[in-house]
A and B are shown apart, each in its own frame.
Chain A
Amino acid sequence: MRKIHLIAMRELKERIKSRSFLLMAVLGPLFVLGLFYALFSLGGSEKQHWNVLIMDKTEIMQTKIAPKKDPRFTFHFINEFVEYEQFADLEQFQGYDLAVLINEKIISNKQVIVSYRELPSENIQRRLIYHIERRFEEVMVQEFTDLDVAKFREIKQSMNFSFKNTYDPKNEVNYKAAWVGYVFGIGILLFVFLFGMTILRGVANEKSNRVVEVLLASVSPKQLLMGKVIGIGVTALLQFIVWASIIGVGLYVFRQTFFPDLLDPSLLLEQMTQDVAQQAMNEFALTARSYNDFVDLVYRDIHFTNMLIFFVLFFLGGYFFYGSFFAMIGAAMGSESDGQQYIIPISVVLILSLLSGYYVIYHPDTYMADILSYLPFTSPVIMMIELSKGFTEGSVWQIYLALFILLISSVVLFGIAGRIYKNGILQFGHRLRFGMLIRWLKKS
């Protein structure tokens, strides 16, 4: 055990000191966070305060807006139309970020044009629409009905249509959640491939610079392989922890600073009268859905604790499983350039397992999907998808069975890899042929 520990620690120290580890640990999560940021803000500006010029020639809005002030906006009214060019160029308009054109026939044509200097984010656009629509509701109720505004809003509330799959009326197939699982599954495969290649390069490198013979005079081939695989595996876990921490902190910071009201319509609505709040909430939820799926996904739908625990378990299983193949090839290579062609089949299997995830998302109830769930080649991806969709009561055993099969397969494959490693690691200068692997496998 002590020798395995020494080898693993050497591997770990060498990897975490390398520039590529540090680059990946910093740039990887920052890239992911950047992606999140882009998706959250959807290309729009998330400026904190907007000066809005409402061009209301007929003064239909009577220089009023929603009942209470929204700190994000300051509204200014003028009773004339300003051309685009004038708004763009004249100095007197430079203080305004947005110009809202309320045309004279607004009552009938419902057309509102908003010209902007800087595209507001979806969130800001929604808020602006909300304020102006609410004001027009009041105006129209006063002008054309005897109803009070609250009653009008109740009547106005749109019908809530719900489309259900006749084969899945309870909407158990949750595509959105499935995609989250898929992303986690891709993460597993990405880490498995990256660190599998690290095993391969490490083994081939030790072989080509002949340090392996010195080591084998002190440790057995199995100890050496085990130490190496564990060391690189711990490096991968460290990398993962760094990723999870940076992304976690980043998402928290996003929520607290850049997008404080991203998920919480009440933040917007607390400033409004109580009677409209509920109805507004419904509408808000409805409009929000069109773009806010991703936000929901990130902040509400992912059970991070569960996902992360099983991510680590399936990653470890997948890493040992696929890592065994990489170790076999590394040990069997006659030179560093030899054996590259044997990486292709593993890559193909990894890509197929990636595609299998896509297949299972859209064909979840097929026999093939069941098989893929338990096959050790594909189970890390499929089970992350299943986990993110959630297991019904009584079917949780499936994930444990898949994990068990994966771990058993890893142990078996690791044993095979150990045998090939033992017999191949001291063979130099040959051209690797498939027959050799079989021969080394048969040899005790």
Chain B
Amino acid sequence: MLELDGIYKSYYRQRVLENISFSIPAGQIVGLLGPNGAGKTTLIRIINQIIAPDKGYLSFHGKLMTSEHLKNIGYLPEERGLYKTMTVEAHALFLGQLRGIPKADVEKQLNYWLEKFEIESWRKKRIEELSKGMAQKVQFICTVLHDPDLLILDEPFSGFDPINVELIRDELKEFRAKGKTIILSTHNMKSVEEICDQVVLIHEGKKIMEGPIMDVRNAHKEGLFSITFSGNMIAFATALWAGYEIISKEVHNDTTFTVYLKMRSENEFNDLLATLLPAVKIISAQEVLPSMEDVFMKKINEGKEVENA
């Protein structure tokens, strides 16, 4: 659906993006991750054609991207604002028409969204009369008003209360279900794990990782398992003896524990269970995949180590 091929961008002899290439299929939510200053906002601006790349190409639905495609993109920037003196309706009409959508269609869509969010009474309110959370809802509506195929959201959850975060998350899932594509730039790794299908990690202007969330987490797993059992801790430790390394434990009560351990040898998960079953009563046992936050930190630190070496 969207394809980036060898994107380069420099500002005043300082390289901000270097050879960024990836493609996003339709109907997916892609997390664009990276620490501050990694070049995410620049990349997003390039996709939105706010700035042009020094080198590289973008294609949209298989065609070289032009300004014509902008009407199929919705963009909610991190630093977002509205004209304070305009009413919600006037603002939505203005932004919708700027995207090239006929007024009647914008009005129809606005009615739909105001009804959906149950905020019809805000229609004639001036933006300055709204609270920050209310204004953000309006911003979201203005972003999706023209029913775009691609939604680009830069830190969409910042400033929202948990109820609104949930609301927006549900909306994004609904968008995905309709076959729309979403690029989500955020530092909120919990959201990434929860709703993203894929991630692209950028660090210092370079793409350092890309792939489906589960693949990425699996690729970075370290053989860590969590076992919750009831019984004697000494019996548990004795049963394991060699071949396993206990990393940490949580004591729930005198007889119930959760232990995190790694396997040292070629043992399989089944071997572990076979070893433990005679010694304790297993309540739950599972392999622990690294969180996206762990993966993120690990990859960023790897980058730093390479630099220092």
Interface residue A165 (Cβ < 8 Å from any Cβ of B): no
Chain-B contact segment, one of A37-45, A171-179, A209-217: A209-217
Report the interface size class on chain A.
20 to 34
A6 to B94, CA, bound (A): 7
Q: Does A405 contact B (CB under 8 A)?
A: no
A218 x B12 contact (CB < 8 A): no
- Asked whether B259 is an interface residue with its Cβ less than 8 Å from the other chain, the reply is no
A10–B99 Cα gap in the complex (Å)? 15
The reply to whether the CB of B223 lies closer than 8 angstroms to some CB of chain A is no
The distance in angstroms between the C-alpha atoms of A248 and B83, with both chains bound, is 36
Determine the distance from Cα of A241 to Cα of B52 in the docked complex, in whole angstroms: 42
Q: Is A431 an interface residue (CB 8 A)?
A: no
Q: Let me know if B77 and A210 touch, CB within 8 A.
A: yes
The answer to the question of A433 belonging to the interface, with a C-beta cut-off of 8 Å to chain B, is no
Chain B residues with Cβ under 8 A from A209's Cβ?
A: 81-84
Asked whether, in the complex, the Cβ of A14 is within 8 Å of the Cβ of B79, the reply is no
Contact indicator B80/A213 (Cβ below 8 Å) = yes
Interface assignment of A426: CB less than 8 Å from any CB of chain B: yes
Chain A binding surface SS class: helix
Q: Are A6 and B97 in contact (CB-based, < 8 A)?
A: yes
In this assembly, does B50 line the interface, its C-beta being within 8 Å of a C-beta of chain A? yes
Of all chain A residues, the one with the shortest Cβ separation from B139 is A214
- Also in contact, A214 and B70, with CB within 8 A (given A6-B97, A209-B82, A426-B50): no
Q: Are A426 and B98 CB-contacts (below 8 A) given A210-B81, A217-B70, A439-B12?
A: no
Q: Is the CB of A213 within 8 A of B77?
A: yes
Q: Are B81 and A211 in contact (CB under 8 A)?
A: yes
- In the complex the two chains form, is B50's CB within 8 Å of A214's CB? no
Residues 92 to 133 of chain B near chain A (Cβ within 8 Å): 94-95, 97-100
Give Cα A14–Cα B86 distance, bound, in whole angstroms: 8
Indicate with 1 or 0, residue by residue over A390-427, a CB within 8 angstroms of chain B CB atoms: 00000000000000000000000000000000000010
Chain B residues near A17 (CB, 8 Å)? 85
In the docked arrangement, what's the CA distance between A214 and B95, Å?
A: 8
Q: Bound state CA distance, A17 and B86, in angstroms?
A: 11
Is B75 located at the chain interface by the 8 A CB criterion? yes
- Cα separation A6 to B139 with both chains bound (whole Å): 19
A136 beta carbon closer than 8 Å to chain B: no
Could you tell me the distance between the alpha carbons of A219 and B50 in the complex, rounded to whole angstroms? 8
Q: Let me know if A218 and B99 touch, CB within 8 A.
A: yes
B50 engages A213 (CB within 8 Å): yes
A214 x B81 contact (CB < 8 A): yes
Using a Cβ–Cβ cut-off of 8 Å, how many residues does chain B contribute to the interface with A?
A: 28
- B43 at interface, CB cutoff 8 A: no
In the assembled complex, the Cα of A217 lies from the Cα of B70 at a distance in Å of 7
User: Inside 8 A of B100's CB, which chain A residues have their CB?
Assistant: 2, 218
Proximity string of chain A (155-195) to chain B, C-beta cutoff 8 Å, 1 when within and 0 when not? 00000000000000000000000000000000000000000
A51 to chain B, nearest CB (A): 58
The CA-CA distance from A10 to B49 in the complex, in Å, is 23
A426 and B12 contact, Cβ closer than 8 Å, known pairs A213-B77, A214-B77, A214-B81: no
* Among B48, B75, B94, contact of A10 (Cβ-Cβ < 8 Å): B94
**How far apart sit A299 and B11, CA to CA, in the bound complex (Å)?**
61
Could you give, for residues 60-90 of chain B, a 1 whenever the CB lies within 8 Å of some chain A CB and a 0 otherwise? 0000000100100101110111111110000
Q: Which residue of B lies closest to A442 (CB)?
A: B12
Q: Which chain A residue shows the least CB distance to B71? A: A218
With A14-B85, A14-B86 given, is the CB distance from A215 to B79 under 8 Å? no
Which chain B residue lies CB-closest to A208?
A: B81
CB-CB under 8 A for A3 and B85, given A210-B80, A214-B77, A214-B80: no
Chain A CB within 8 A of B142 CB: yes
Name the residue of chain B whose CB is nearest to the CB of A9.
B94
Contact with A along B37-57 (1 / 0, CB 8 A): 000000001001111000000
A7: B residues at CB distance < 8 A? 98
* List of B residues within 8 angstroms of A426 by Cβ: 45, 50-51
Which A1-43 residues have C-beta < 8 A from chain B?
2-3, 6-7, 10, 14, 17-18
Select from chain A the residue with minimum beta-carbon distance to B74: A217
A7 to B95 CA separation, bound complex (whole angstroms): 10
Enumerate chain A residues within 8 angstroms of B85, measured Cβ to Cβ: 14, 17-18
Q: Provided the pairs A214-B75, A439-B12 are in contact, do residues A219 and B98 lie with their beta carbons within 8 angstroms?
A: yes
Q: What separation, in Å, do the CA atoms of A115 and B231 have in the docked complex?
A: 122
Q: Which residue of A lies closest to B83 (CB)?
A: A211
Note all chain A residues with C-beta closer than 8 A to B82. 209, 211, 214
14 contacts between A and B (CB under 8 A): A6-B94, A14-B83, A14-B86, A209-B82, A210-B79, A210-B80, A212-B81, A214-B95, A215-B98, A217-B50, A217-B70, A218-B70, A220-B67, A426-B50
Interface residues of B (CB under 8 A from A): 12, 45, 48-51, 67, 70, 73, 75-77, 79-86, 94-95, 97-100, 139, 142
Interface contacts beyond A10-B86, A217-B75, A426-B51: sample of 13 additional A-B pairs, CB < 8 Å, sorted by A: A6-B94, A6-B97, A10-B94, A206-B81, A209-B81, A209-B82, A210-B80, A210-B81, A211-B83, A214-B95, A214-B139, A217-B73, A218-B99
Q: Which residues of A contact B (CB under 8 A)?
A: 2-3, 6-7, 10, 14, 17-18, 206, 209-220, 426, 428, 439, 443
The 7 closest A-B pairs by CB, nearest first: A209-B81, A210-B81, A211-B81, A210-B79, A218-B98, A217-B75, A213-B77
